[in-house]
Structure 1
Amino acid sequence: MIPRVRRIAALCALGAALTACGTAGGGRPAPAASSASPSAAGPPVLAPGPGGLTPVFEHGPRTRGKTVALTFDADMTADQGPRAASGEHFDNPGLIGALRELKVPATVFMTGRWAEQYPAEARDLGRDPRFEVANHSWSHYAFTADCYGLPTVDSGADAMRAEVQRAYASLRKAGVPKAMPYFRFPGGCYDRQALRALSGLGVTAVQWDVVSGDAFATDADAVVKQVLDGVKPGSVVVLHCTRSAAPTTERVVRTVVPQLRGRGYRFVKVSELIGQTAGNR
């Protein structure tokens, strides 16, 4: 989750600033080209970049039909335990229930700290074929400096790699049987150093091309408009499933889903979009 002091909605109406946080704009590496290759042993991933650099995926092909992936960040930072103990809700069962009711597949990027706080919910999501669970770091600390007010991971490749590995360990301990080889940088912030640090872990970094603006939003209609205005064939939409900090998201989903279906869109998981990319070279 992006802290209130520098929330994306305040940066620009369409959230372009957040998208640029992890893309070629602002001096960061461009996303990987359409070079995905489904593995016979597991889910499709993008091929590494030059020198084995961790690949970055932002959206699927624009010409393979009207598909769209809704993704949800299950955020909880390492220092938020006391807030959870005092009653703050970092989960959102109502949202998950709405996705099930509407029969919408989705990808959940989960921090290890969230899985430790809500192991039963993590296990439930991980065992439901409608969802796929992916890695969002353990602590939700940023992998670059000056990332929307987030604390930063200790400098050095070892610390960054440990964040990813520890998160996978937490997901396994919570009962997620097959966490996906996809990683979302906290805040969406990365640079070449971060991509190099994660090289060799076999993960594809997953960004997005549509910022919902649901973080700290109180106007569900504004979020709905931003999503509907932004979606294109192959889009990846970033939303959140943290009840206290994204209170409108369930309402947004209940509105957006039927409208996009009315436009002919089919909802898919991120893995399907990456798999489509393999056939679009």
Structure 2
Amino acid sequence: MPISRTRTVTAAAVAALTLTLAGCSMDTTAPADARSDARSDGKSLKGATKTVRATTVTPEAPVDCEKAKCIALTFDAGPGKDTPQLLDTLMKERVPATFFLLGKHHVVKYPKVVKRISDEGHEVANHTWTHRRLDQLNRNEIREELELTQQAISKITGTEPTLMRPPQGRIDDEVTAVSKELGLAQILWSATAKDYSTNDSALIEKRILKQAGRDGIILLHDIYDGTVPAVPGIIAKLKDRGYTFVTVSQLLAPAKANPGEVYRP
């Protein structure tokens, strides 16, 4: 059964989520709703300004996505051989991103790249150990998929992620329960280039630009040959449209992602 929404979403955002998500009917939270709830609870962005080294992409002051036209750039299933090139682009453009990292053949294979992602101010998140569909596993198997990646990332960066993205966007009540136990919020998306199906960078760029919207979460993969070359054009054109790039956590601020909760634009 597909996930249902209790809050209003645009038809474009719904259409952009191309996968039918498994499991029982489940509420999702939009970034704007998370921010609104946090502000009504008295949370504020004030006082969060921090000194930033020139070697990071982190902004000197927090971005207020109630005022700015924000969008989050996210990358799944890396790091890969092209991730350093991607990081060069992001540093040049001063664009932060969220990386949902895959454990067994990626985090373990590229520990220096994982450390660089973290050191340069990007958000490091969990995309499981071996990319198995979590909704097809039992609770112990789900926990292992997520916990092994938590441990591997923490060993490199010193910090465990607080966000996860389920492979194929597939979740159910068991996945939610384990995610909550491990302190992980579940992050879906609103724009995808289906870059697993094409190496045409121009097509990847076109698909993302067509689906991009305020408070959107862009899904790309830094492991496919056409994706990283498409990123400079995506960034340039979205900046021209007035977008401010943020991490997923910055998109939700002043709210903090609640473990187990499902976030989707």
Same fold, TM-score > 0.5, yes or no: yes
Please give the alpha-carbon distance, in whole angstroms, between the structure 2 residues aligned to 1:247 and 1:216: 11
The corresponding residue for 2:206 is: 225
The answer (yes or no) to whether the contact 1:126–1:177 under 8 Å persists in 2 is no
The corresponding residue for 2:126 is: 135
Instruction: Name the TM-score, length of structure 1 as normaliser.
Output: 0.68
The corresponding residue for 2:107 is: 115
The answer (yes or no) to whether the contact 1:116–1:170 under 8 Å persists in 2 is yes
Name the amino acid aligned to 2:74.
Answer: T
- Evaluate the alpha carbon distance shift between residue 127 and residue 63 of structure 1 in structure 2; reply closer, same or farther with a 3 A threshold: closer
Please give the alpha-carbon distance, in whole angstroms, between the structure 2 residues aligned to 1:212 and 1:27: 27
Alignment pair present for 1:69 and 2:61? no
Please give the alpha-carbon distance, in whole angstroms, between the structure 1 residues aligned to 2:21 and 2:252: 21
Name the amino acid aligned to 1:17.
Answer: T
Equivalent position SS for 2:157: coil
Please give the alpha-carbon distance, in whole angstroms, between the structure 1 residues aligned to 2:82 and 2:109: 9
Alignment pair present for 1:185 and 2:188? no
The answer (yes or no) to whether the contact 1:127–1:177 under 8 Å persists in 2 is no
The corresponding residue for 2:94 is: 103
Instruction: State the Cα deviation string for residues 107-145 of structure 1 (Å, max 9, x = none).
Output: 10112221111111111112222x111111112111124
Q: Bigger relative contact order, structure 1 or 2, given CA contacts below 8 A and separation 6+?
A: 1
**Aligned with 1:163 (options 145, 156, 165):** 145
Please give the alpha-carbon distance, in whole angstroms, between the structure 1 residues aligned to 2:65 and 2:102: 30
- Evaluate the alpha carbon distance shift between residue 209 and residue 62 of structure 1 in structure 2; reply closer, same or farther with a 3 A threshold: farther
The corresponding residue for 2:28 is: 31
Instruction: Name the TM-score, length of structure 2 as normaliser.
Output: 0.72
Task: Extract unaligned runs of 5+ from structure 1.
Answer: 1-13, 39-60, 77-88, 146-154
Please give the alpha-carbon distance, in whole angstroms, between the structure 2 residues aligned to 1:271 and 1:253: 21
Structure 1 segment 36-55 matched on structure 2, within 5 A: none
Equivalent position SS for 1:17: coil
The corresponding residue for 1:240 is: 221
Number of aligned residue pairs: 213
Please give the alpha-carbon distance, in whole angstroms, between the structure 2 residues aligned to 1:254 and 1:64: 25
The answer (yes or no) to whether the contact 1:28–1:192 under 8 Å persists in 2 is no
The answer (yes or no) to whether the contact 1:184–1:207 under 8 Å persists in 2 is yes
Equivalent position SS for 1:144: helix
The corresponding residue for 2:4 is: none
Name the amino acid aligned to 1:212.
Answer: A
- Evaluate the alpha carbon distance shift between residue 30 and residue 94 of structure 1 in structure 2; reply closer, same or farther with a 3 A threshold: same
Equivalent position SS for 2:180: coil
